[in-house]
């Protein structure tokens, strides 16, 4: 296991608190039979925020999901180098998601599009051995055999691709270059956001041209460098199958505009009546819009949709309180329940 990385967080200081408690990887993809999916957008396979939402599912939720699909993985256990023990597949998926900051749904959809492991009740040993197609170049032999190695390395690769495509050349190790920085036999230029790319088939013919819109999409095409030509029976159906799995399983490929994830809060002393204290809270921006404070909002990009960010009341969400009326609860606050923080009136 490599030491993990979490996403960007915003530290919020609440000054007035009144009784608060609280290597290139080219994986070949054979066609899988999947229902037609309207979710497929070739130049934006998944939004960045969704791609990086590593806490979208707990291990228990992953396990329940696999059981509901009658997946072989629901009962499969194997050795984990991270834990130095035999553990359930759901634990390996969950820990890789947390360690590398990748949505476990992305991992599950990749396991499905590579080896049909989510829905196959009795996979061949080779499907488990090369579960994520990591280190399996087209026409070549596979490296890194074993379910744990595949999930751990494959998830790391997805995050590395994302960071390099997003211009972060220092993540993990600055000496590890972006495998898809330049043209290859499968595409005409490096895979980066806002760059037009020609996708090339095995015969050297360009069959798709479009502009990649975000780093998550660039990462997925770098992992499996084939666009979908428009037929679910065609060999190059990996990107389509990935999005179809999300769609068919009821998962969203698109960000909420405003969404946040509680990370941590600082300790604070007992507050007697009339006393004040400064308490810090950290939240990860898991939405699709940048957060700005009141001082910077005037200079935020025109048309960006950015607003000053506010915490939401809870129990129930967005209720009025003794300190604020209902007028402040506009779209300019994360649409989640911040259960870690409560007001004295509930």
- Extents of the domains making up the chain: 23-248
Residues 47-83 have pLDDT tens digits of 998 999 998 999 999 999 999 999 999 999 999 999 9
Concatenated DSSP letters of 94-106 = HHHHHHHT--HHH
Q: What percent of the chain has pLDDT over 70?
A: 68
Residues 201-249 have pLDDT tens digits of 989 999 999 999 999 999 999 999 999 998 755 678 999 999 999 999 9
Q: Does residue 262 carry a pLDDT above 80?
A: no
pLDDT at 265: 80
- The CA radius of gyration of the chain, in Å to the nearest whole number, is 22
Average pLDDT over every residue of 259-272? 76
Lowest-confidence segment of 143-152, 156-165, 179-188, 320-329 by average pLDDT: 320-329
Phi, psi values for residue 266, rounded to 5°:
-80, 160
- pLDDT averaged over the chain? 79
pLDDT at 258: 65
Taking the C-alpha atoms of residue 320 and residue 329, their distance in angstroms, rounded to an integer, is 9
Question: Exposure of 340 by Cβ count < 10 A (0-12 exposed, 13-18 middle, 19+ buried)?
Answer: middle
Binning pLDDT at 50, 70 and 90, where does residue 310 land? low
Instruction: Please identify which residue in the block is written with the tokens 């960045």.
Output: 48
- By DSSP bridging, strand 279-285 and strand 260-265 are antiparallel
**Highest averaged pLDDT of the listed ranges 168-177, 284-293, 336-345:** 168-177
Between vectors from CA 31 to CA 147 and to CA 107, what angle results, nearest 5°? 35
């Amino acid at each position: 296991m490599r030491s993990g990385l979490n996403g960007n967080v915003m530290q919020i200081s609440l000054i007035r608190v009144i009784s608060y408690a609280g290597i290139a990887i080219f994986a070949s993809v054979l066609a899988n039979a999947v229902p037609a999916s309207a979710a497929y957008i070739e130049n934006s396979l998944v939004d960045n925020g969704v791609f990086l939402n590593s806490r979208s599912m707990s291990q228990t939720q992953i396990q329940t999901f696999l059981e509901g699909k009658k997946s072989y993985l629901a009962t499969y256990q194997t050795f984990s180098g991270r834990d130095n023990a035999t553990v359930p597949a759901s634990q390996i998926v969950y820990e890789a998601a947390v360690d590398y900051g990748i949505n476990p749904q992305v991992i599950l959809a990749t396991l499905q599009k590579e080896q049909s492991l989510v829905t196959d009740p009795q996979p061949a040993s080779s499907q488990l051995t090369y579960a994520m197609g990591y280190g399996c170049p087209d026409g070549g032999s596979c490296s890194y055999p074993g379910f744990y190695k595949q999930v751990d390395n494959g998830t790391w690769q997805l995050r590395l691709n994302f960071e390099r495509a997003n211009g972060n050349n220092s993540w993990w190790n600055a000496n590890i270059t972006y495998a898809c920085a330049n043209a290859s036999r499968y595409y005409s230029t490096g895979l980066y956001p806002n760059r037009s790319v020609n996708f090339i088939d095995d015969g050297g013919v360009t069959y798709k041209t479009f502009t990649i819109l975000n780093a998550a999409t660039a990462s997925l095409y770098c992992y499996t460098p084939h666009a979908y030509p428009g037929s679910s029976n065609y060999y190059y159906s990996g990107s389509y199958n990935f999005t179809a799995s999300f769609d068919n399983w009821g998962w969203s490929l698109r960000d909420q505009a405003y969404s946040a994830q509680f990370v941590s809060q600082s300790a604070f002393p007992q507050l007697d009546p009339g006393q004040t204290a400064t308490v810090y809270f950290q939240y990860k921006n898991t939405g699709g819009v940048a957060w700005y404070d009141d001082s910077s909002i005037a200079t935020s990009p025109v048309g960006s949709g950015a607003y000053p960010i506010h915490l939401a009341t809870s129990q129930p969400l967005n209720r009025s309180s003794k300190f604020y009326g209902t007028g402040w609860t506009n779209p300019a606050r994360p649409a989640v329940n911040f259960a870690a923080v409560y007001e004295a009136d509930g």
